[in-house]
Amino acid sequence: MNSNHNTVRISCAYDGGNIQFRSTRPNELDSTITDVIVVVKQDEYTELEQIAHKQYFSFRSTVNDSITKCRYILDNASTTSYPEAWKDATVCYSSDLYDPDSWKRVLNTRYENGKLVWDMQHTGTMYFAYFPPFSYQRHLDLISKCQQKTTVLSLGQSLEGREIECVKVGTGERLAWIIHRQHPGETMAEFYAEGLLSRLLNLNDDDSTNDPVVKQVLEMYTFYIVPCMCPDGAVRGHLRTNAAGANLNREWATKHYYEAPTLERSPEVFWVLRHMDETGVDVFLDVHGDEEIPYNFLSGAEQTPAWGPRLQALHGAFGAAYERSNSDMQLEIGYPPPESPEQAAQYMNVATNQVSNRFNCLGMTLEMPFKDCWTNKNPERGWSPARSRQLGAGVLEAFVYVHPYLRDDTEFWTQLPLEDRYVEPTDDYRHLEETMPLYQFIQLNRRFYSDVHEIHKKETSGLDQGKKE
């Protein structure tokens, strides 16, 4: 939507854009500041979760005169899917929409009185986003580069007719499936895929064909890599859903009355899962972004029927090897696992749980932060597309390390070194921040796979309001 104000024009009329302009006004306390009021547009309504998600935004602001400063106010920040995530968040900005490495952070971003606010002095055009966008054109360019190096399969089409591409590479016996961007607003996930594929296929032609790890891992595995599970939602600027409002990471199995996956609502999952059934799976990684936790972390299939000493040991070994290969990975902070099999049973429609149990294999969800990464802080850039690509490239060492154990039917875990042990994560990360007194940490309700209802325990009336908004 475009604003019609003569001084400031707001637009999201591009691939992946999301914003609605409300108004501009002189700031009440400083006449040199113009307040620009905007709101995030919601995704399509999600039948299973009974909510219309919203949080991701990306928009263009064009300033036509000599305004000293604009104060941007995201007016509905308190009613987004994860309002607690705005604390410590910094808005991304760039004058070049399609150069992912040009984006920086607005360090004066603050969440106050239920609104996300930031100040920026600029003339001409500036883009703002929750995280730098990964456009559909960039996706197609990535696919084009991959098919010049290896086989690219179309597993099926999305509801709006976009291909669900899968990059197949390697000749090994073990079958590794890696999927990205089930939630379209988590654009860091496709930057991760870009880094992973660039290393595996030497897409940059930078003489990395001599990379011994790449040679080794391609002899060990046949990889099936889906760079973008939700292309329709990505183009629409959605946070979590496809064109029909389906949260794809709740579409991997039928739950009560809700049949899934289906061609009518979630063909993206339907076709991927069908191909998995044809190939089999020995190890699975589902790549995401998390709005609230400022760390990279792994989440497993804890407390599901398949979980036991074997999968726990594989999960620990993979995570430890990953941490050794890239210092941006850590193991202590993450989603606390369910406390019982009964709690886990409520989430067998989540990809990691379903795939782990369907194929009795190591299955993991990888989360990256929207915020700065507290493991290695960089306030000016925060967690960035470049570091997402590096994290993707760095996962190969972990695949090499766990390869001998994936289908080992002995008690191999008794022989693994102590540093490979499984670490049960906690989401209490505030105590790790030296300048943050412990008492300021407010633990959320138990978070299972970013389930909005578990985090907020919303009342039905509140959900109905979200549906109508």
**Residues assigned a catalytic role:** 367
Give yes or no for a contact between 58 and 94, defined as CB atoms under 8 angstroms apart.
no
- Pairing type for strands 151-157 and 163-169 reads antiparallel
What's the rounded Cα separation, in Å, for the pair 275 and 277? 5
From residue 1, alpha-carbon distances to 12, 13, 193, 220 in Å are 6, 7, 31, 50
What's the rounded Cα separation, in Å, for the pair 39 and 47? 23
- For residue 100, the SS3 value is helix
Which residues, including other chains, have CB under 8 Å from residue 161's CB and lie 6 or more apart?
Answer: none
What are the structure tokens assigned to 199, written together? 């290393």
From residue 155, alpha-carbon distances to 3, 249, 269, 464 in Å are 40, 18, 10, 36
- Pairing type for strands 362-369 and 283-290 reads parallel
What's the rounded Cα separation, in Å, for the pair 165 and 149? 15
Q: Which helix (H) or strand (E) holds 399?
A: helix 396-402
Q: In b/e form, how buried is each residue of 159-192, taking b as 16+ CB within 10 angstroms?
A: beebbbbbbebbebebbbbbbbbbbbbbbbbbbb
What's the rounded Cα separation, in Å, for the pair 287 and 296? 11
Amino acid symbol at 78: S
Orientation angle between helical segments 136-147 and 188-201, nearest 10 degrees: 20
